[in-house]
């Protein structure tokens, strides 16, 4: 685990960082933490959809930044199965500094920015460099929320969105405390700017999803964390991933101004 407030970077390259993830006997997903390229090879049908989705989400949750999925070695046997790439992109677009692009020579996948050659896809990736990202790996202890708030405060000052520090601290406190109270696992707090917005996410290793039932009665005790996030965030959600979940939210300065008005 790294110290709070470090800038996230990829791990050292090497064979130990390369993983070949079998989806079924016909389709493989190959990832490397030192590279922004994910290769999907073989034959994709409906049986391979869930494993492909899991492998892509696992990679995107593990390391910030957009990725290029290389489909040059893939044959899509069932057209509906190709929708998995658009589904994954929709899932991660509100995560901090996340996106998914395609190298798709066949031009068969819709709903995702795609290029016919890998060089063109990588050039498009380079033309829109990854936003600044702050990451902290934290234990599930009472002090974790304090470290997360400091990370948010530092990021908002650094990125010129100081008005989002207060709502950001409210949201990240509830997200972190939910891990401490319910997930009981180590967590990764990540934040990044995008235009004038602030994107926050907390990734843990519990499959238990947060439950939000709307406004709580005034006589209720506890259970208001998600209500607070819903109040300060423009949008928020929880994304299941193979070994846990990513709870994320997006904050916008216009919402903060309206709340103060």
Q: Mean pLDDT of successive 10-residue segments in the chain (261 residues)?
A: 40 49 73 92 96 96 94 96 98 96 95 97 87 94 96 96 96 95 96 95 94 45 66 95 97 72 47
Q: Which H helix or E strand runs over 188?
A: strand 187-194
Query: Nearest to residue 188, comparing CAs of 143, 146, 229, 136?
Result: 136
Q: What is the pLDDT of residue 58?
A: 96
Q: What is the pLDDT of residue 225?
A: 58
Cβ(137)–Cβ(151) under 8 Å? Answer: no
Q: What is the pLDDT of residue 260?
A: 54
Separation between Cα atoms, residue 257 and residue 108, nearest integer Å = 44
As a CATH number, domain 9-127 is 3.30.750.24
Q: What is the DSSP letter of 15?
A: G
Give strand ranges (E) for 92-163: 100-103, 114-115, 134-138
CATH 3.30.750.24 in the chain, residue ranges: 9-127
Query: Nearest to residue 21, comparing CAs of 42, 46, 45?
Result: 42
Q: What is the pLDDT of residue 82?
A: 97
151: Cα separation from own chain's centroid:
17
Q: What is the DSSP letter of 95?
A: S
Task: Work out whether the CA dihedral 4, 130, 165, 227 comes out positive or negative.
Answer: negative
DSSP characters over 48-65: GHHHHHHHHHHHHHHS-S
- Specify the CATH architecture of the domain 134-260: 2-Layer Sandwich (3.30)
Buried b (16+ CB within 10 A) or exposed e, 112-144: bebbeebeebbebbeeeebbebbbbbbebeeeb
Q: What is the pLDDT of residue 25?
A: 54
Q: Which H helix or E strand runs over 191?
A: strand 187-194
CATH 3.30.565.10 in the chain, residue ranges: 134-260
């Amino acid at each position: 685990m790294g110290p709070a407030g470090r800038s996230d970077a990829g791990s050292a390259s090497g064979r130990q960082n390369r993983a070949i993830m079998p989806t079924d006997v016909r389709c493989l997903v190959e990832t490397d933490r030192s590279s922004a390229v994910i290769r999907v090879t073989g034959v994709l049908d409906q049986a391979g959809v869930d494993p492909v989705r899991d492998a892509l989400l696992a990679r995107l949750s593990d390391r910030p930044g957009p990725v290029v999925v290389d489909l040059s070695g893939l044959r899509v046997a069932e057209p509906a199965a190709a929708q998995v790439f658009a589904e994954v992109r929709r899932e991660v677009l509100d995560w901090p500094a996340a996106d998914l692009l395609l190298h798709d020579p066949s031009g068969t996948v819709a709903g995702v920015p795609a290029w016919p050659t890998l060089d063109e896809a990588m050039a498009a990736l380079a033309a829109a460099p990854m936003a600044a990202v702050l990451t902290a790996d934290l234990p599930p202890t009472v002090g974790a929320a304090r470290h997360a708030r400091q990370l948010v405060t530092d990021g908002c000052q650094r990125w010129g969105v100081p008005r989002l520090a207060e709502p950001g601290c409210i949201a990240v406190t509830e997200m972190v405390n939910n891990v401490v109270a319910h997930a009981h696992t180590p967590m990764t707090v990540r934040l990044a700017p995008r235009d004038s917005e602030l994107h926050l996410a907390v990734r843990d290793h519990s499959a238990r999803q947060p439950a939000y039932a709307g406004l709580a009665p005034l006589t209720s005790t506890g259970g208001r964390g998600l209500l607070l996030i819903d109040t300060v965030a423009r949008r928020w959600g929880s994304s299941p991933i193979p070994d846990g979940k990513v709870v994320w939210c997006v904050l916008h300065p216009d919402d903060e101004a309206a709340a103060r008005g």
